[in-house]
Structure 1
Amino acid sequence: MTDVTATPPTQQRPWLDATLPVEERIDLLMTEMTLAEKVGQTHQVANIDPEADAGEIAAGRISSSLYASGPTGGNERDEGVLVGNIDAAQRHAVEGSRLGIPLLFGRDVIHGHRTVAPIPLGIAASFDPDVAEEIGEVAAREAVVDGVAWTFTPMVDISEEPRWGRVAESLGETPVLSGRLAASLVRGFQGDDPSDPDRLAACAKHFVGYGLAAGGRDYDTVSVGENTLRNLHLRPFRSAVDAGVLTVMAAFNDVDGIPMHAHEHLVREVLKGEWGFDGVVVADWNGIGQIVFQGVAADKREAAALAIRAGVDLDMVSGAYLEHLEGLVESGEVDLALVDDAVRRVLRLKFRLGLFERPYAARPGASNAPTSGSRAVALRAARAAHVLVKNDGVLPLGDAAGRVLLSGPFVDDGDALLGTWVLDGRGEEVVTPGAALRERLGDRVTVADGRFPDVTLMQARAADTSVLLLGEHRSRSGEAQSVVDIGLPPGQLELVRAVAAFGKPLVAVVYTGRPLDLTELLDLADAVLVVWHPGVEAGTALADVLLGDAEPHGRLPMTFPLSTGHIPTSTHQRPTGRLIRAEVDHEEGRYIDALTYPRLPFGFGLSYTTVDYGAPGLSSPTMTTDGSTTLTVTVTNTGGRPCREVVQLYFRDPVAQVTRPLVELTDWALVDLEPGQAREVTFDVQAEQTAYAGPDLTTRVDEGEIVLLTGPDVARLQPVSVTITSPKASS
């Protein structure tokens, strides 16, 4: 953003004095604003036109614009963002309006801008907060070149519903993983100072419960109590707020009959009041207008009144605020203080971003094309996202692999490898698997797109090892992309069966935006890699892992159910009066036609070596409700290759005032191990990590036994117990 060159001096507009505190600048500006100008600051349009909208901008009737291809822009391309248009529109606001309030421009920069990283679910598979922060930083640095000052990510909706297409945008099924990675993304996008010209505002979405959409059907209703919301779904939002996220987006769904865009208790009382969030709550696309469709408002006038009372500050594209807020205030139906609160928050955001000092976006000569540095970040992330879920000794591919067939629709389709919600990445900038393996293996590899299965079978017969690239096209996941069957797309398993029948080594690489039913594939293939949609370095990362130049160290951030009929299956499971134990699932399971427990549980992932876990120990068998203990576990690389182990820490609360999960992730550590190396891993366990919302919805830490469990995934854990006591009892 370039500096202002044609604005009145601060004597005429004292709020332009950057030496004053932000709140004082807001006071000075709001004192001068008319009600109509205040209402204008609550109105966001889509794809602002600097010519057609010039009059509205100059009149102060537009506050913000997002650039999007439509309401479900995740899989719809547009013409991109034109900096010239942004600055032309901005000039009308800064130099042509009475008060000179700059516009705020937003765009969905979800997992990269030009340098596209893995989808968020793939980022979550890394379990690496540093990777998440680097991705956010690179994305911000590239997006600001195009004039973007605000992005609508991270998505922290918790879901155990893989039929829902938007799990691709999520950061996993557990609140600790999602919350910690969300905080890292916020730091990456916003930095220490969001007014830095290379940073932009982040947005935690969708507040709240969107991941519970009935049947995995996008936009559907949600039935959930506040206790479950507080103990599960609200937690990653709180992590993002604590990390300083500047904006939060309301969810499309209702919660027990109250649309979130009209939910005064959760938005105004909990988010803004209880948590002290002082940023902007923005509507989702036409979210305020959709209150009418949800049946709690007769028209947009009533919808506007409900939304402003609930605490939604900025109306995305519905026009309800612009059309009706002024009249609602003048009639006394809406308190002016509610509008003032919304306007103050919007202005605070603009001041925090430095828009009053640097409203213009143009950076002559600047480029945001992928660089060696940005590609290095994307490659690190893509490698870290690779999850090896089966390996019968086939991987890594060495000389014994002989002639290799690399076949499937993803071999040279760069665009398909980018994943959902990529608006500015370019397929031609993707390193494809075909290109990477041709470079590494030369004449040893046959690369084919698999269009004709009969040809693929002939090629597989001629090869010594087959590597099949399977899974979903990127357009099968994302917004409005729900499915009723989480199996592989039609025809793929039939091909795998035929290739497997040759009895030669078979490697399956699965590209996906959701957990899939891989049950039969695990039986047929000798090795299976889940790689999500990896982004611009997809091919390089795959070649590195297949050939052993990099170790697979991703872990599953969501449970992979045995089948569609097993949904929901996740770590959200709470104890019942007749609990099924894994060891007797084959005899006492709840299904008469299938086992219950998944083969691919949360946190699961293999490496090219073996790691042994010792029994966990504690520095003290007790801790007070405000105290801590140290858990120690020794992990040993017993194989011949280095690895990065994701050492996971869970806990179980056997007796509480509400039923709690059977096990709950509370921490993890990334541990690098050389062959034969043993390392002692320590966790500082705070009693407050076991806190939960009780029947009265207040947060509490109970006295009594807590079982701490460590291991490589949720299904292979070793326990040790600690007793929580009152501070008085220990004194």
Structure 2
Amino acid sequence: MTADIERVEALLAAMTPEEKAGQLGSYWHRPEDPGSGDVAPMEGDMTGPDSFEAAIEHGLGHLTRVFGTAPVSVADGVADLRERQARVQKASRFGIPAIAHEECLTGFTAYGATIYPTPLAWGAAFDPELVEEVAAAIGRDLRAVGVDQGLAPVLDVVRDYRWGRVEESIGEDPYLVATVATAYVRGLQSTGLVATLKHFAGYSASRAARNHAPVGVGARELAEVLLPPFELAIREGGAGAVMPSYAAVDGVPPTASHALLTTLLRDAWGFGGTVVSDYWAVPFLRRTQRIAADDDGAGALALAAGVDVELPETVGFARLAAGPALDQAARRVLLQKGRLGLLDPGWEPRGDDGADLDSPANRALARRLAERSVVLLANDGTLPLRAAGGGPGRVAVIGTTAVQPRTFLGCYSFPNHVLAGYDGDDLGVAVPTLLEALRTELPDAAVPHAAGAAITGDDRSGFAAAAALAAQADVAIVAVGDLAGMFGSGTSGEGCDAPDLALPGVQAELVTAVLDTGTPVVLVVVSGRPYALGALAPRCAAVVQAFFPGEEGGAAIAGVLSGRVEPSGRLPVAVPRTPSGALPTYRAAPLGRRTDGISSLDPAPLYPFGHGLSYTTVEYRDLTLGAASMPADGRVDVTVTVRNAGRRPAAEVVQLYLTDHVAQTVRPVRELIGYLRVPLAPGETRRVTFDVHADRTSFPGLDLRRVVEPGTFTLAAGPSSEALPVAAELEITGDAPRVLAGARVMTTPARVE
């Protein structure tokens, strides 16, 4: 590290202001073929230099998405990146290459690369260790072809289910988001790459769930709900990059917020990496935020706030003035290049032009994560289909979702992000459909299919055929949900915000038509957000939820339906009862929940956060505390016993919640402070112990300083936020609140015996 610092200081001393500014810019080559997919429909008048030569004249900070912009083979992508890096080095007096970055939210967003489940499915798995393993696999593929930085994970805590980017988020609980995202950071960076935290901060709290809309949250909600995931990923995950969000928070765009990017991020949290702008967020300060008169002014604002690199191309940073802010940003970029090895003497672009980006090992990982993310919401005993005594002889499969593989993939998967703009059905990888997977799972059953209705539109002409098929079957599997896209081209995804939480198109009517036949219906929802199922679920024999489970999603869902896979996913977001508007998340304060006599609206969900069934019965008993009280800086063991009382194995997600009885500010009725996936064989009993530090009870007080208050708390454990069969009271002692300054204990380790 000392050698890197010395090398960087020597470079800065020799560089002109133009060369320093060159390290803060980027270049994105996009195909000119008008028939190709447009992955950047918002660019408008915000494009950078006309040519690559002009962009690299004084050096270059980043190369944008060499692999992720058009369908290129590994060999062609490696050759293109190698050739561009050579030109960047030649244009630089000091031979400094660029950092190559790519999107990697559901895997490497490139043609032929494995498509893993979307982040909402990571949350449903409640399995940080597996997410870390997946991220490491993604990192190895990126690194194999010469990429240095990945633009993931997304740490936005879901605040409104209508927001199009819910699918990119991990869930509605900050602790779940924080722990899973930090695991992803560790996995990706274990391969030598830089992970990029998105979108700092407040983006998911936009008004009316509209993309890029203003954010009106107060400082307390920001500190308590929206910032902790970023803090954990920096303090304990060591994330190397942060991307500010587009949305203005209380009138200030994060891209221009010195308070967020410098005072908090660097001074308070000790972040030592780079801040990279979201795509065109710098010229947005002029174009949509209107806090700068021109692009140069926008660039000056962003640089002064703490932005180090402008992505995806150089617009506002094209003519930066010399001075300490320019030097500091260039220093940070060069230090990062040093850590990546880009400043090493004799550096040459790496890149395996024969790399297999969708290896059998990758697909096995994708399937494991998909299987663990599928949530069984309800079941009257119809599932599993291959229960003892045989299965159904005829299974009607209904719905477009059952035969359209793109419905398993998130908006940042290559097929939906890029290939959707091209002609043809080539997805680059094999994505077996649910229908194909069910026919494999149920070889002795007849498994016919009827589409019934499209994902969108109002065409009901297929209802009759679907109902007739169902009427002749022993059971009907009706698959409904989303088709992800970008900026209005899908029902879920970036810029695909929903007016309400009704299933898209006429899919709910299709389910009703099949239910009316009297045949038992298994409803399968494959989506990027939760949809209101209150009018449908009570009539169904079973309900299964999958959040864009990726290329192996068909096999995962079919495995759960057949019984080959034990269902173990849990809801990272609640499933609403009614489709109307915004609903509070489970961490609501008392007046945010049902209030008979105060409001006629009941916000209670149909299925709560953390809910999920298995094919067995797990019993909870004997929650005990290591001590009945502890000081405001102490810790206590919280132990709960779980027993599998059934005949099938299970993977129980044991959840621990905290309730603060009296506090100086309004607190949630309960909040998740710990969880652990626990495998249980039939008849097996295990004890799970959570190590709870007093810091885990802290919150921003009246003056916004974080405090641990003396008082009484309830610790409760169970299978969901609303099913907590065991509890105990804990007393935190002391005469006055303890004020926390600097780092604090942010996690609750758990062990199983």
> Structure 1 length as normaliser, TM-score?
0.89
Report the alpha carbon displacement of residue 295 of structure 1 after superposing the two structures with TM.
2.3
CA deviation string 1:85-134 (max 9, x = no partner): 21111001224420111111111111112111111001110000012111
Q: Give % identity.
A: 35
Output one character per residue of 1:53-103: Cα deviation in whole Å (capped at 9) or x when no partner.
Answer: 45336532421121289xxx9xx9655772212111100122442011111
Give the C-alpha shift of residue 216 in structure 1. Answer: 0.5
CA contact (8 A) 1:168 1:513 kept: yes
- 1:129 maps to 128
Report the AA paired with residue 273 of structure 1: D
Q: Give the number of the structure whose residues are more often helix, by fraction.
A: 1
Distance, in Å, in 2 between the alignment partners of 1:610 and 1:558 is 23
- 2:159 and 2:584 in contact (8 A); partners too: yes
- Alignment partner for residue 527 of structure 2, among 512, 517, 529? 512
Gaps of 5+ in 1: 1-18, 192-197, 330-335
Structure 1 residue 159 displacement after superposition: 2.0
Say whether residues 1:450 and 2:451 are aligned partners: yes
Instruction: Check if 1:353 corresponds to 2:340.
Output: yes
Q: Distance in 1 between matches of 2:716 and 2:308?
A: 43
Q: Which runs of 4+ in 1 moved over 4 A?
A: 51-54, 76-81, 358-362
Q: 1:322 to 1:256 in 2, by over 3 A?
A: closer
Task: Label 1:164 to 1:645 Cα distance change in 2 as closer, same or farther (>3 A).
Answer: same
Q: Does the C-alpha gap of structure 1 residues 344 and 415 become closer, same or farther in structure 2, counting only changes over 3 Å?
A: same
Report the RMSD for the aligned CA atoms in angstroms: 2.4
Structure 1 residues 490-518: Cα deviation after superposition (integer angstroms, max 9, x where no partner): 22122211211222221111110011111
Pair 1:254–1:391, CA change in 2 (3 A):
same
Match of 1:590? 599
Q: Distance in 1 between matches of 2:268 and 2:245?
A: 19
Alpha carbons of 1:493 and 1:55: their partners in 2 closer, same or farther (altered >3 Å)?
closer
Give the equivalent residue in structure 2 for 1:378: 366
Say whether the 8 Å CA contact 2:492–2:529 is kept in structure 1.
yes
Alignment check: 8 A CA contact 1:414 1:429 kept: no
1:460 aligned residue: 470
Aligned to 1:721: 729
Separation (CA, whole Å) in 2 of partners of 1:241 and 1:411: 40
Per the TM alignment, residue 158 of structure 1 is displaced from its structure 2 partner at its CA by: 1.2
Q: Secondary structure at the match of 1:324?
A: coil
User: What CA deviation, in whole Å up to 9, does each residue of 1:692-725 have, x standing for no partner?
Assistant: 2222222221122122111111111243111112
- The alignment partner of 1:258 has SS state of coil
Match of 2:14 in 1: 32
Task: Choose the corresponding residue for 1:690, options 694, 697, 719.
Answer: 697
| Separation of aligned partners in 2, 1:241 and 1:606 | 34
Contact 1:119 1:169 in 2 (8 A): yes
Asked whether the 8 Å contact 2:615–2:648 carries over to 1, the reply is yes
Q: Aligned partners of 2:363, 2:598: CA distance in 1, in Å?
A: 47
- In the alignment, is the contact (CA less than 8 A) between 1:288 and 1:318 conserved in 2? no
Structure-2 separation of matches of 1:228 and 1:359 = 46
The answer to whether 1:311 aligns with 2:310 is: no
User: Structure 1, residues 601-626: CA drift from partner, whole Å, max 9, x if none?
Assistant: 11011111111211421110011111
Assess if the C-alpha contact under 8 Å between 1:559 and 1:569 holds in 2.
no
Higher mean alpha-carbon deviation, 143-152 vs 504-513, is at 143-152
Opposite residue 163 of structure 2, the aligned amino acid is: W
Write the deviation string for residues 541-588 of structure 1: whole angstroms up to 9, x where unpaired. 122111111111101001222223252221231234xx756xxx6x54
Query: What secondary structure, in the 3-state scheme, does the structure 1 residue paired with 2:547 have?
Result: coil
Match of 2:741 in 1: none
* Distance in structure 1 (CA, Å) of the matches to 2:398 and 2:149: 40
With 719-728 and 461-470 compared, the bigger mean Cα shift is at 719-728
Cα deviation digits, residues 415-454 of structure 1 (max 9, x gap): 3322220127936411222222222323513242515332
Please say if 1:488 is aligned against 2:480.
no
Query: Do structure 1's residue 523 and structure 2's residue 531 form an aligned pair?
Result: no
CA distance in 2, matches of 1:597, 1:350: 50
SS of structure 2 residue aligned to 1:236: helix
Tell me, yes or no, if structure 1 residue 90 matches structure 2 residue 85. Answer: yes
Bigger mean CA deviation after superposition, 217-226 or 562-571 = 562-571
On the 8 A contact 2:21/2:318 being kept in 1, the answer is: no
Match of 1:107 in 2: 102
* Aligned counterparts, 1:413-424, within 5 A: 413-423=404-414
Match of 2:132, SS?
helix
Letter in 1 for 2:556: A
1:549 has 2:558 as partner: no
Q: Does 1:501 align with 2:509?
A: no
Q: Which is worse superposed, 420-429 or 211-220?
A: 420-429
Task: Give aligned pairs, total.
Answer: 684
Is this contact kept in 2: 1:54–1:92, CA < 8 A?
no
**Is 1:150 paired with 2:149?**
yes
1:367 Cα deviation from its structure 2 partner:
1.9
Taking structure 1 as reference, are residues 439 and 318 closer, same or farther at Cα in structure 2, changes over 3 Å only? closer
SS at match of 2:689: strand
Q: Which amino acid aligns with 1:296?
A: I
Deviation (angstroms), 1:641 = 1.1
What is the DSSP-based 3-state SS (H/G/I as helix, E as strand, rest coil) of the residue aligned with 2:674?
A: strand
Distance in 1 of aligned mates of 2:666 and 2:602: 24
**Partners of 2:25 and 2:318 within 8 A in 1:** no
Q: CA–CA distance in 1 between the matches of 2:212 and 2:448?
A: 41
Q: Is 1:403–2:394 an aligned residue pair? A: yes
Structure 1 counterpart of 2:278 = 284
Matched to 1:285, the amino acid is Y
Shift of the 170–33 alpha-carbon distance from structure 1 to 2, 3 Å rule, reads: same
**Aligned partner letter, 1:669:** L
Q: Equivalent residue for 1:258?
A: 252
1:434 to 2:435 alignment: yes
Kindly indicate whether the alpha-carbon contact (under 8 Å) linking 1:461 and 1:502 is maintained by their aligned counterparts in 2: yes
Which residue number corresponds to residue 240 of structure 1? Answer: 233
Q: Secondary structure at the match of 1:132?
A: helix
Deviations 1:358-400 (A, max 9, x none): 8544534532232221111111100011001010101000224
Residue number in structure 2 paired with 1:217: 210
